[in-house]
A and B are shown apart, each in its own frame.
Chain A
Amino acid sequence: MSKEPVAVVGIGQTKHVAARRDVSIAGLVREAAQRALDDAESTWADIDAVVIGKAPDFFEGVMMPELYLADALGAVGKPMLRVHTAGSVGGSTALVAANLVAARVHGTVLTLAFEKQSESNAMWGLSLPIPFQQPLLAGAGGFFAPHVRAYMRRSGAPDTIGSLVAYKDRRNALKNPYAHLHEHDITLEKVQASPMLWDPIRYSETCPSSDGACAMILTDRAGAARSPRPPAWMLGGAMRSEPTLFAGKDAVSPQAGKDCAADVYRQAGISDPRRDIDAVEMYVPFSWYEPMWLENLGFAAEGEGWKLTESGVTELDGDLPVNMSGGVLSTNPIGASGMIRFAEAALQVRGQAGEHQVDGARRVLGHAYGGGSQFFSMWLVGARPPES
């Protein structure tokens, strides 16, 4: 028996900001969930199960937050489960929810991911002082910056590329009312003049720390038929993992990322992603990851990704727009960031992306990664249901 097609019929986000001091964690997730329900013109009674994701518990210090959030998410008396795959968790949470629909376990599932970074310090949560071990000598940016240098060496990319990505994403964010950073006076010169934190990564080429949540209503064919607005259809979805460090790891273009993308394309019948996919929401916490992922995801040959960025192909009005929403560079509630990529991809094919809509977007990829390039999750959504 073939899988049940999965449709996205409701999407909700909070306005992402540095600190939402006016709401509890329950209030934050509720806001996104209610907006997703409103978008789908559904009620709590229409939801059969809830799948929630967030990054490590240490980020807010609430152990097993799903227990405490059952009331806020209308999960009482329903199955509820929590997914955790570090920074990619928003993507894998959506995929676990989608698989419940595809397998016909549930008809309609609410999926949600969140982070309230202001309640803690993510950097502390990621670098607990373990006895006997050498302390990490750099922050998150310092962890990733050597990989960026390795990419530059391997590809011969000019050192201007990182700033171009940041300048593009911050301008895109101005068209997205939910984005955290709205830098109205952004210029390329300002990005280029920002301090070099972890050379080769500049301050303006790093993501902010955000409070926010993102929710989606996923449903089956029958649910999609009742949808008041055009649904987005999942055409393929996959997850892959590999260790953060191992002999032979390619941190610039991890094998798990390549395999994950290949699986998605196989499911969706994509033979040439550069030709067949209209736009991409990818997880770019440091600007140089745009050209790196363009190669890893098969949009450019190895060593060529930066040329797409440099020539304007990834601009909002380019041939392959990347991070139309402003991306992680403009909004980073860590646990939610992957789901925001997935949801923004769905908004595009539904034609609901507002000012950052790409005209005629029919197939859009949502991508997330996490845990030192350890976890990957991706989905491809389309304006039309999959051909069975």
Chain B
Amino acid sequence: MPEVLKAPLVVEFPFTRSLGPVQSAFLTGLRERVVLGVKTTDGRTLVPPVEYDPVTAEEIRELVEVAPTGTVTTWAWNPGPRRGQPLATPFAWALVRLDGADTALLHALDVPGPDAVHTGLRVRVRWAEDRTGAITDIACFEPYDHEGEPARPTDHTGEFEDRITGIVAPARLDYTYSPGRAQSAYITALSEQRTVGERCPSCRKVYVPPRGACPTCGVPTAEQVEVGPRGTVTTFCIVNIKAKNLDIEVPYVYAHIALDGAGLALHGRIGGIPYDKVRMGLRVEPVWTEGARYPDHYRPTGEPDADYDTYKELL
């Protein structure tokens, strides 16, 4: 059995967030070294603040300032920090109830080892040097054994100069992608410039690319069948706008191509003919470029056009 392919897949995007009134005040506050919470209908103080009361569902907007000191309510040790986490050295993930708050905030706690942290530990905010209006403006928490006045939340307007109204929240997911047995065989055959699909034992249709099963009959497919290399343009559109990340001059023709013997059309670009001369039924063949996994495009073979009835089920 041929090798099943695998490759890393990184999905990454800088999402933007409109903050709304409450998160806007909270994050701008962090930039100014002020931690804000919000009062619920029943008088509790939530830090971090939310826009709607978790109990009554009422809109809540009464902001209060709480202390930058607090108490660890629970924690977990993180022996191997990953990229993008608050600290590069091992640290504790801690829930910290700030003085004046009724709920706890999740953040990193910088301590030398798990023996140095316990529930009830007194801590304080370590502010980041460069603050932009983000949760990372709190670099982390650190132990702080000073006993002071028990802090009470104090009213705050939430007004700041130059308020943050939106943030960029980059997200990244790291996968290992495998196309599976059937597609691996298809891709391996492509490297020899052959197109190999799989025939369904029940309906006899040939799937290109193969999926390892027939979605109509619900049975596994195994019988390999080479199709093409020639085929028929069954339908198409003329692309007049340049797509991002695609180095193709517009206009070009994006077509559905039914390779001879295939049970459904695959997609490709048509070249070697003026874009406005492409038509349904045009007979085409693949054009390969050195080292490419897929045909660069398909070009006319010069055969007479296929009759509509021969491909009307393959649009």
Which of A72, A123, A252 contacts B315 (CB under 8 A)? A252
> A312 on the interface (CB 8 Å rule)?
no
Do A199 and B13 have beta carbons less than 8 Å apart? no
Which of B13, B18, B50, B171 contacts A20 (CB under 8 A)? B18
Do B237 and A245 have beta carbons less than 8 Å apart? no
Do A58 and B13 have beta carbons less than 8 Å apart? yes
> B239 on the interface (CB 8 Å rule)?
yes
> B216 on the interface (CB 8 Å rule)?
yes
Q: What separation, in Å, do the CA atoms of A128 and B13 have in the docked complex?
A: 11
Q: What separation, in Å, do the CA atoms of A76 and B203 have in the docked complex?
A: 50
Do B177 and A146 have beta carbons less than 8 Å apart? no
Q: What separation, in Å, do the CA atoms of A21 and B302 have in the docked complex?
A: 55
- Interface contact tally, CB-CB below 8 A: 177
Chain A nearest Cβ from B302, distance in angstroms: 23
Interface size on B, residues (CB 8 A): 69
Do A147 and B315 have beta carbons less than 8 Å apart? yes
Do B15 and A27 have beta carbons less than 8 Å apart? no
Q: What separation, in Å, do the CA atoms of A281 and B266 have in the docked complex?
A: 33
Interface string of A74-104 (1 = CB under 8 A from B): 1010000000000000000000000000000
**Chain A residue at minimum C-beta to C-beta distance from B170:** A61
Do A134 and B215 have beta carbons less than 8 Å apart? no
Do B254 and A138 have beta carbons less than 8 Å apart? yes
Residues of A within 8 A of B52 (CB): 26, 30, 71-72, 74
Do A27 and B171 have beta carbons less than 8 Å apart? no
Chain B nearest Cβ from A128, distance in angstroms: 6
Please classify how large the interface on chain A is, using the bins under 10, 10 to 19, 20 to 34, 35 or more.
35 or more
Which of B7, B13, B235, B254 contacts A137 (CB under 8 A)? B254
Do A248 and B313 have beta carbons less than 8 Å apart? yes
Residues of A within 8 A of B268 (CB): 134, 137
Partner-binding segment picked from A166-174, A190-198, A269-277, A333-341: A190-198
Residues of A within 8 A of B57 (CB): 44, 71-74, 76
Residues of A within 8 A of B51 (CB): 24, 26-27, 30, 71-72
> B243 on the interface (CB 8 Å rule)?
yes
Q: What separation, in Å, do the CA atoms of A74 and B60 have in the docked complex?
A: 13
Residues of A within 8 A of B20 (CB): 22-24, 26-27
Q: What separation, in Å, do the CA atoms of A338 and B205 have in the docked complex?
A: 34
Known: A24-B17, A134-B294. 13 other contacts (CB 8 A): A22-B165, A23-B20, A30-B52, A61-B15, A71-B53, A125-B13, A128-B9, A131-B5, A131-B9, A131-B179, A247-B214, A247-B216, A247-B263
Nearest 10 interchain pairs by C-beta: A74-B57, A145-B237, A24-B20, A247-B263, A199-B238, A61-B15, A131-B7, A247-B205, A146-B235, A44-B57
CB-defined A-B contacts under 8 Å, sample of 16: A20-B18, A22-B165, A25-B18, A61-B13, A73-B57, A119-B15, A121-B13, A128-B11, A130-B9, A131-B179, A135-B245, A139-B243, A146-B235, A147-B235, A150-B234, A200-B237
